[in-house]
């Protein structure tokens, strides 16, 4: 049986944040839940592709920003998640 590579502490934090978003999305309306899940998965996938894994300062910044966004999303008065796309 092949052993899996060890997951670092920061990777565990990222996975926990991702799971937190998905769990919180379950508390919202069904159509908004799908929108939240797609926005969150696209954002995490984009960051996984484009952020250097050794840039810990930026990754920690993204974690802090994500945690703040998650806390806001947990508020029952917040119904959804919006995104802003800037063309480069």
- The reported pLDDT for the residue numbered 23 is 97
Q: What's the predicted TM-score (pTM) here?
A: 0.85
Q: 51 φ, ψ to 5°?
A: -100, 130
Angle at 16 between CA 9 and CA 35, to 5 degrees: 145
Mean pLDDT by 10 residues, the chain (88 residues): 82 97 95 94 96 96 97 90 71
Cα gap 51→55, rounded to integer Å:
7
């Amino acid at each position: 049986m092949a052993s899996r590579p060890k997951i670092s502490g920061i990777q565990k934090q990222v996975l926990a944040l991702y799971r937190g978003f998905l769990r919180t999305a379950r508390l919202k309306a069904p159509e908004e839940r799908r929108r939240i899940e797609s926005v969150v998965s696209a954002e995490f996938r984009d960051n996984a592709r484009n952020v250097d894994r050794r840039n810990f300062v930026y990754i920690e910044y993204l974690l802090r920003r994500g945690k703040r966004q998650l806390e806001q999303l947990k508020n029952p008065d917040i119904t959804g998640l919006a995104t802003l796309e800037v063309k480069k």
